[in-house]
A and B are shown apart, each in its own frame.
Chain A
Amino acid sequence: MSSANASSAKVFKPRFNPAKPAFGALVFLLYLFLLAPLLIVFVVSFASNQYLSFPPEGITLKWYEMLPQESTFMEGMKVSLIVAVIVTLIVLALGVPAALALDRFEFKAKAAVQSFFLSPLLIPSIVLALGMVLLFGPLELNNTYAGIIIGHVAITIPFVIRTTLMSLATTDTSCEAAARILGADSWTVFRRVTLPIIQPGVIAGGVIAFIVSFDEAVISLFVAESGLPTLPVQVLRYVENSADAAVAALSVILILISLAVVVVVERVMGLRKALR
């Protein structure tokens, strides 16, 4: 019996399949195509070429050394970080309760509210930006932190609501009922049961909101170009005026920062779980 099994197992051993390496090569090429711009930026940032160009003529670190002296970048970085942090906090404080309400309550205008919250995803940001400039003028919000933050909250809130709703959809509402029966009031139920359960969606939404806000150029450009330029605005301006590779060096730093955020979140709680 056992020998018969062993021999039949041999017969069914998978043979070499030429489709496999071909598929692998295809995937590799696709990734290469997607990542090529990043790789080029990376290479250029170390190139000694006088102007932004490819291929490199030599290797240098002078662009990286230039960055700390480039006050516009440092200023922009500060503005962008402040904006992104505040936007993330506000958007979580608004988006999580909104998602809870949308998931747990039945009300008449539910569909309307849902599309209202998700609509900024569908409207071209240039249209939003134009509208905001016109609206913020009389309110004296142009060129202020408040103006940029309001704009960024509007475009990032859909992400937080989406990711939180996804987490909520998979939670068992009996857990909350169980906690209430065991004596917890509504706030305790939220803090001790609901929030920990939906935490992956909340964190994913927060990370996305942070990155989107940090990266946002259009609204920032319209609302606060002259008075409070964010980092993306400074980069645009810099590229307009000079053609050296300092921007490439800055880009590499930004990529590393994003990567660091992703790695930290992944280490702390598993981003893959968070983005599921």
Chain B
Amino acid sequence: MTEPKLSIVDLTKRYAADLDPAVDRLNMEVEEGHLVALLGPSGCGKTTTLRMVAGLMDPTAGSIVVDGKEITHTPVNKRGMGMVFQSYALFPHMNVEQNVAFGLEMRQVSKAEQKARVAAALDMVQLGHLGKRQTKELSGGQQQRIALARALVVEPTLLLLDEPLSNLDAKLRETMRTEIRSIQQRTRATTLFVTHDQDEALDMADRIAVMNGGLIEQFGSPTEVYERPRTHFVANFIGQANFLAARVGAETGRANLAGESYYKVDVDGLGRFGAIGSAGLSGSSHELVIRPHRLNVSLHPGAAQAPLAGTIERVSYTGDALAVAVRVGDQQLHAQMLTSSGDLPRIGDAAYLSWAADDAYLLPAAAQPGRLAA
């Protein structure tokens, strides 16, 4: 494997000796040209990590290596990075061109070259015609693009994005998502992207680091973290999930192409079902994760094998789908049904749930008592 563009080794940040660390021995490697999302709830340490990589904050311990060179204690202004802030942080007293040119000026690039590179950067974000405008006159989306141009024009070693989309309205956010991603892919800028929005992370990132309590719970591709969550937290944070406590029986002897085994599992009080998981889980308790849209709901018994019978407790109509909550024993399971002109379920109706063994995934971490939640 080629050398990673960025390696973070045992990075730790403690704000005060008596507090839990905000970032706790974090390790991560980022490949050249990748966009990595640091995803997690507020307070998970994602912004702290980004600020330490940027050099805006000193780590308590650990090291940051870029292009094989340790930069843990390199001053901010010598790191050659580009950063886009949540508030955009455009210089209010400079016009658009002056904002974009600032980094080049600091690098003592000649005036002529500055002009050409600023123009190219503004064209890249499709704002070439606004160079002389004051930043105040621009919309949020335009300011965001200027901030991106200003960060990219210096050809930064790393592009750092700190919740860049959270100040935009929903529609614009979607557009900017696509645009930032396509610009990032064109420039091949290795990017760290802090977000609390799982959709953004799934949509834009090559790799997602799901963070919680200062730790990376899982680092993987969007498909991996969604389909094969390593922990309860990851399964719960990314997308919706149903969790069932399961006693894992013997392996069936079958395995899929990825080398995962099929098991028979006992779900407390509900019965015996098929599931898939990594090898060697037999005999212990694990949590079963089933995504709502992978749960088949039928209003008639006998449509599927070994269906779980329950009662519909809640129906919410979202246009193209129906989200239903079904009470089965002492659990409430969430499922999705496609809307059709046929019979629509009503609260109190009987419902029959089933799933394919491939869609019931056993979390590799052993189930913890009291951590069951949907």
Pairs of residues from A and B, 6 with the lowest C-beta to C-beta distance, nearest first? A183-B106, A174-B89, A182-B103, A196-B93, A178-B89, A174-B85
**A185→B107 CA distance, assembly (Å):** 12
Chain B stretch 142-159: residues in CB contact (< 8 A) with chain A: 147, 150, 154
Please tell me if the beta carbons of A180 and B93 are within 8 angstroms of each other in the complex.
no
The distance in angstroms between the C-alpha atoms of A45 and B154, with both chains bound, is 65
State whether A182 touches B150 (Cβ < 8 A): yes
Contacts of A193 in B (CB 8 A): 91
- Which one of B56, B76, B82, B93 has the highest number of Cβ atoms from chain A below 10 Å of its Cβ? B76
Name the CB-closest residue of B to A176.
Answer: B89
Contact present for A174 and B54 (CB under 8 Å): no
Contact across chains for A180 and B89 when beta carbons are under 8 A apart = no
Query: Does B229 sit at the interface, judged by CB under 8 A?
Result: no
Please tell me if the beta carbons of A181 and B87 are within 8 angstroms of each other in the complex.
no
Whether a CB of chain A sits under 8 angstroms from the CB of B328 is no
| B102 part of interface (Cβ distance < 8 Å) | yes
Chain B positions 105-127 with a Cβ under 8 Å from a chain A Cβ: 106-107
B87 contacts A174, C-beta separation under 8 Å: yes
Q: Is A188 an interface residue (CB 8 A)?
A: yes
Hey, what's the 0/1 contact readout for B48-86 against A, CB within 8 Å counting as 1?
A: 000000111000000000000000000011111111011
| Contact indicator B56/A183 (Cβ below 8 Å) | no
With A180-B76, A182-B102, A182-B106 already in contact, the answer to whether A175 and B81 are too (CB < 8 A) is no
Question: Which chain A residues numbered 167 to 193 have a C-beta less than 8 Å away from chain B?
Answer: 172, 174-175, 177-185, 188, 192-193
Contact with A181, one of B81, B90, B91, B107 (Cβ below 8 angstroms): B81
A175 CB contacts on chain B under 8 angstroms:
89-92
Q: Which residue of A lies closest to B101 (CB)?
A: A182
Chain B residues with Cβ below 8 Å from A188 are: 106
> Does A197 lie at the interface of the complex (its beta carbon under 8 Å from any beta carbon of B)?
yes
Distance of A170 from chain B, by nearest CB (Å): 10
Chain B residues packing against A (C-beta within 8 Å): 54-56, 76-83, 85-87, 89-93, 102-103, 106-107, 147, 150, 154, 160
Number of residues from A at the complex interface, CB < 8 A: 18
Which residues on B sit within 8 Å (CB–CB) of A196? 91, 93
What is the CB-to-nearest-CB distance from B295 to chain A, in angstroms, rounded to a whole number? 44
Docked pose: A193 CA to B147 CA in angstroms = 15
Q: Which of these, A174, A182, A192, A199, contacts B154 with CB under 8 Å?
A: A182
Pairwise interchain contact A179-B54, C-beta atoms closer than 8 A: no
Q: Which residue of B lies closest to A195 (CB)?
A: B93
Are B93 and A197 within 8 A (Cβ)? Answer: yes
**Nearest chain B CB to A193 CB, angstrom units:** 6
Identity of the chain A residue whose Cβ is nearest the Cβ of B54 in the assembled complex? A181
Whether A177 contacts B83 in the complex (CB less than 8 A), given A182-B106, A183-B103, A196-B93, comes out as yes
Contact A181 B79 (CB under 8 A): yes
Q: How far in angstroms is the closest Cβ of chain A from B160?
A: 8
**Residues on B with beta carbons closer than 8 Å to the beta carbon of A180:** 56, 76-77
CA distance A190 to B323 in the complex (A): 55
8 A Cβ contacts from A123-160 to B = none
In the assembled complex, the Cα of A48 lies from the Cα of B81 at a distance in Å of 74
A197 touching B92, Cβ below 8 Å:
yes
Residues of the B chain whose Cβ atoms lie less than 8 Å from the Cβ of A172: 87, 89
With A174-B85, A193-B91, A197-B92 known as contacts, the answer to whether A179 contacts B102 (CB < 8 A) is yes
